[in-house]
């Protein structure tokens, strides 16, 4: 009887593997080279939420250990805080950079949540960020030029979801493309 068990387990995992790779990826995507952006055009503001493996931005996924690594982290934080250079928004919106929030427990950025603290022993680490822009005409914005590929060597693809009064859009930018356009 016990002989049958491994086969059953094997079949189950095979079935799961075929049936749900997409949903598994969507739930916990940490793919080196990939950055995810969620862009919300809402009233007078555009908020860009970014989720990136730390490796994309600094080349490692732990606290910096050397002066060179500390310098890399410092440069990266500086680049991300100057987000109006990373995200060049269609001038039709007349947008100005507002608050930037960076979260990366591995780098000691932001406040570590209980979940982050619990999962802190893993081999991978992310940097999550939100970039808020205040606009006088946010709904007029039809494109954003994204400079993440020039600012950082790691990213190869940026998957984007845009929620705006004009609708929901999904876009994918691949190096070396930079223009994220939607609407009409
Ligand atoms: Zn990783």
CA of 33 to the centre of ligand 1 (A): 9
* pLDDT tens by residue, 145-154: 999 999 999 9
Residue 15: predicted pLDDT: 37
Higher pLDDT, 118 or 74: 74
* Ligand 1 mean position, distance from CA 134 (Å): 33
Percent of the residues in the chain that have a pLDDT greater than 70, as a whole number: 78
Query: 5 CA distance to ligand 1 centroid (A)?
Result: 34
* Alpha carbon of 53 to ligand 1 centroid (Å): 5
Q: How far is the CA of 124 from the centre of ligand 1 (A)?
A: 4
Q: Tell me the CA–centroid distance for residue 47 and ligand 1, in Å.
A: 25
* Residue 111 binned pLDDT confidence (cut-offs 50, 70, 90): confident
pLDDT digits (tens, 9 = 90+) for 25-66: 344 558 999 999 999 999 899 999 999 999 999 999 999 999
117 C-alpha to center of ligand 1: Å? 17
What is the whole-number distance in angstroms between the Cα of residue 59 and the centre of ligand 1?
10
**What is the 32 CA–ligand 1 centroid distance (Å)?**
6
Question: 140: exposed, middle or buried (C-beta count within 10 Å: 0-12, 13-18, 19+)?
Answer: middle
Sheet bearing 143-146, strands edge to edge: 87-89, 143-146, 179-181
CA of 126 to the centre of ligand 1 (A): 7
First to last CA, the chain: 64
In the chain, domain spans: 27-181
As a whole number of Å, the CA-based R_g of the chain is 19
In angstroms, what is the span from residue 122 Cα to ligand 1's centroid? 9
| 3-state class percentages of the chain: helix first, strand second, coil last, to nearest 5 | 35, 35, 30
Write down the pTM of the prediction. Answer: 0.81
Cα 10 to middle of ligand 1, angstroms = 27
- Cα 66 to averaged position of ligand 1 atoms, centre (Å): 20
């Amino acid at each position: 009887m016990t002989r049958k068990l491994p086969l059953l387990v094997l079949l189950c995992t095979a079935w799961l593997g075929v049936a749900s790779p997409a949903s598994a990826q969507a739930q916990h995507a940490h793919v080196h080279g990939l950055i995810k952006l969620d862009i919300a055009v809402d009233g007078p503001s555009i908020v860009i939420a970014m989720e990136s493996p730390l490796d994309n931005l600094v080349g490692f996924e732990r606290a910096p250990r050397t002066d060179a690594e500390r310098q890399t982290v410092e440069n990266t934080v500086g680049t991300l805080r100057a987000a109006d250079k990373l995200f060049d928004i269609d001038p039709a919106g007349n947008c100005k950079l507002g608050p930037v929030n960076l979260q990366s427990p591995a780098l000691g950025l932001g406040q570590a949540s209980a979940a982050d603290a619990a999962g802190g022993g893993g081999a991978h680490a992310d940097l999550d960020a939100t970039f808020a822009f205040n606009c006088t005409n946010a709904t007029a914005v039809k494109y954003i030029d994204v400079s993440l590929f020039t600012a950082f060597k790691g990213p190869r693809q940026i998957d984007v979801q845009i929620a705006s009064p004009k609708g929901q859009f999904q876009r994918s930018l691949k190096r070396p493309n930079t223009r994220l356009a939607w609407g009409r």
